[in-house]
C-alpha cells in the first residue's frame, strides 16, 4: 500500500524502513554470479559475512550464509573465487542495509578450476606426497645445477645471471621444455627425468615466469607432481610470482617465490661467504690472541715467583743446610768413635789386668813339672825334678837342686 506523505505529515524513519523491508521481503530467491571479495567469520556467530563483487562493474553486495553451509564447501571458499549463489534479498531495517541471504553456493569458471585443484591437492596430500619430513636439504655449493625452463625465456636469464653473479664458477645443465600449453607437463617431466639421471647434477630448478591460473595449470598436473616426488635429486620450484601457488610448490623440496629467488637459494653469495670467512678469521684471531695473552700472563706470574726468578736460591739454601748436617754428622760420628775407642781401651786394660801374662810381666812365674802340671807349692816337687818356668818373655828349663819350704810368717 502506497504511503501518503506530505511536508505537513511526513512518515517516520521506522515506517519507511519497515515498508522497504516488507516490500523486499516479498521478493523471491535469485541466482547471482560474482566474485567473493571479502570473508568475515566472527567468533561465536553462526553466520558468515561476505561481499559479492561484480566481475565487470565496481558494484558489490553484502552476502550472509550459515556457518554450516560455509564449512561444508569442498574445497573451502576463498577470497577471489568466482561463484554462483542462490539467495534471497533481505533488508535490515535497524541499520538500513541490504544483504543477500545465501542458501546455496557453487563454484564457476576459475572458481570451479580452483576447486578441482584443491580436491587434487587434498588427495595427493592424503597420500603423503607433500609431507615435510620428506623434504631434502639443498647442497651448500652444488657442482652442477639442472635447470628446466623454456628456451630464451626471462626465467632462464634470471636464474643464470643471478646465480653467476653470486657465484661466477657455477655450472648449469639446461634442459628446455614447453612451460605452457597442453604438452608442457609431459616435456617438463621428460626434462626432469633426464637431469635426475645425470650423476653430475646436484639440484634441479624448474623455473617459469608469472601467468594466469590457466597458464600455470601444467605445474599442478598429477603426473608431474608424482615425477617430482619420485626424483632422487632435490628439486626447487620457481613458478610464477609470490601469489602463485601451483601444486609443484608443495611437492618440491624447496619453493622459490620467483626465478630470481631460486638463484639465491641454490648458490651462496661469494661476497657474503668471503665476508663470513673474514669475520670468522677475525674472531678466531681474537680468541687465539686472548688465549695466548692469558697463558703469557700465567707464565709471567709463575716466572716472577722467587723459586723461578732465581732457581739457585733454593739450591744455595740447601747447600748450607747440607753442610751443617754434614758437619753435625761428622761430629757425631767422631764423638761416637772416640767413645768407642775409650771403651775399647778400658776393656783392653781390664782384659790385660786379668790376663796371666800381665801377672808374669809383674815378675811372677809359672812353674810346671816335667809332666806339665803347674806346681802350686813346693810339695809337688822333689830334688832332681826337671822344671819348666814360664816367664813373661819365655821359658826357663831348670833342675831342682833343693827344696825349701817357707813359713807362714814369711809368707805374710
**Number of domains present in the structure of the chain:** 3
Residues 102 and 153 in one domain: no
The domain that holds 252 is classified in CATH as 3.40.50.2300
Residues 79 and 157 in one domain: no
Residues 6+ apart with CB under 8 A from 198: 144, 146, 173
Q: Range of 108's domain? A: 13-112
Tell me the three cell numbers of residue 83. 561463484
Residues 68 and 174 in one domain: no
Q: Which of 268, 288, 309 is the last residue before a domain boundary?
A: 268
Do residues 204 and 196 make contact, with C-beta atoms less than 8 angstroms apart? yes
| pLDDT tens-digit series, residues 320-374 | 888 888 899 999 999 999 999 999 988 888 887 777 777 777 778 888 888 878 8
CA–CA dist 132, 379 (Å, integer): 143
Neighbours of 53 (CB within 10 A): 17
Residues 264 and 147 in one domain: yes
Answer yes or no: is 339 within a domain. no
Residues 163 and 254 in one domain: yes
Q: What is the pLDDT of residue 218?
A: 86
| pLDDT tens-digit series, residues 307-319 | 777 777 777 777 8
| pTM exceeding 0.85 | no
Torsion over CA of 346, 347, 349 and 350, rounded to 10 degrees? 120
Residues 107 and 157 in one domain: no
Crossing angle (nearest 10°) for helices 222-230 and 184-197? 10
Q: Which of 112, 132, 151 is the last residue before a domain boundary?
A: 112
Q: What is the pLDDT of residue 412?
A: 45
Residues 90 and 164 in one domain: no
The domain that holds 99 is classified in CATH as 2.40.50.140
Q: What is the pLDDT of residue 244?
A: 65
| pLDDT tens-digit series, residues 365-403 | 888 888 878 877 777 777 888 888 888 788 888 888 888
Answer yes or no: is 189 within a domain. yes
Residues 107 and 39 in one domain: yes
Answer yes or no: is 27 within a domain. yes
Least confident of 30-44, 234-248, 341-355, 369-383: 369-383
Residues 170 and 258 in one domain: yes
Neighbours of 165 (CB within 10 A): 15
| pLDDT tens-digit series, residues 114-140 | 777 788 888 899 999 999 998 999 999
Residues 80 and 166 in one domain: no
Position 173 pLDDT exceeds 90: yes
Q: Which of 221, 250, 268 is the last residue before a domain boundary?
A: 268
Answer yes or no: is 347 within a domain. no
Amino acid at each position: 500500500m502506497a504511503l501518503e506523505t506530505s511536508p505537513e505529515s511526513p512518515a517516520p524513519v521506522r515506517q519507511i524502513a519497515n515498508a522497504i523491508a516488507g516490500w523486499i521481503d516479498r521478493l523471491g530467491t535469485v541466482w547471482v554470479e560474482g566474485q567473493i571479495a571479502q570473508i568475515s567469520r566472527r567468533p561465536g556467530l553462526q553466520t558468515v559475512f561476505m561481499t559479492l563483487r561484480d566481475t565487470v562493474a565496481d558494484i558489490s553486495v553484502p552476502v550472509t550464509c550459515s556457518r554450516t553451509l560455509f564449512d561444508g564447501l569442498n574445497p573451502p571458499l576463498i577470497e577471489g573465487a568466482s561463484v554462483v549463489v542462490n539467495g534471497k534479498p533481505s533488508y535490515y531495517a535497524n541499520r538500513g542495509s541490504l544483504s543477500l541471504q545465501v542458501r546455496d553456493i557453487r563454484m564457476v569458471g576459475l572458481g570451479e578450476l580452483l576447486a578441482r585443484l584443491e580436491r587434487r591437492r587434498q588427495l595427493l596430500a592424503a597420500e603423503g606426497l607433500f609431507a615435510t619430513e620428506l623434504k631434502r636439504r639443498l647442497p651448500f655449493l652444488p657442482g652442477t645445477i639442472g635447470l628446466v625452463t623454456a628456451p630464451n625465456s626471462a626465467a632462464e636469464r634470471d636464474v643464470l645471471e643471478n646465480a653467476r653473479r653470486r657465484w661466477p664458477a657455477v655450472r648449469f645443465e639446461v634442459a628446455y621444455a614447453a612451460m605452457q600449453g597442453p604438452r608442457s607437463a609431459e616435456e617438463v617431466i621428460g626434462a626432469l627425468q633426464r637431469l635426475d639421471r645425470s650423476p653430475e647434477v646436484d639440484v634441479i630448478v624448474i623455473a617459469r615466469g608469472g601467468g594466469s591460473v590457466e597458464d600455470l595449470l601444467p605445474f599442478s598436473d598429477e603426473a608431474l607432481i608424482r615425477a617430482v616426488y619420485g626424483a632422487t635429486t632435490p628439486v626447487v620450484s620457481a613458478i610464477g610470482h609470490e601469489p602463485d601457488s601451483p601444486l609443484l610448490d608443495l611437492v618440491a623440496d624447496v619453493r622459490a617465490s620467483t626465478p630470481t629467488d631460486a638463484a639465491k637459494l641454490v648458490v651462496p653469495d661469494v661476497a657474503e661467504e668471503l665476508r663470513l670467512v673474514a669475520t670468522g678469521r677475525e674472531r678466531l684471531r681474537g680468541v687465539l690472541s686472548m688465549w695466548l695473552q692469558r697463558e703469557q700472563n700465567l707464565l709471567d706470574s709463575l716466572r716472577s715467583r722467587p723459586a723461578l726468578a732465581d732457581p739457585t736460591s733454593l739450591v744455595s739454601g740447601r747447600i748450607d743446610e747440607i753442610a751443617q748436617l754434614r758437619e753435625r754428622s761428622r761430629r757425631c760420628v767422631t764423638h761416637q768413635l772416640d767413645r768407642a775407642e775409650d771403651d775399647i781401651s778400658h776393656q783392653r786394660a781390664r782384659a790385660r789386668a786379668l790376663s796371666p801374662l800381665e801377672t808374669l810381666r809383674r815378675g811372677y812365674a809359672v812353674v810346671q813339672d816335667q809332666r806339665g802340671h803347674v806346681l802350686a807349692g813346693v810339695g809337688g816337687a822333689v830334688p832332681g825334678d826337671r822344671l819348666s818356668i814360664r816367664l813373661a818373655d819365655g821359658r826357663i828349663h831348670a833342675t831342682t837342686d833343693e827344696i825349701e819350704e817357707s813359713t807362714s810368717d814369711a809368707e805374710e
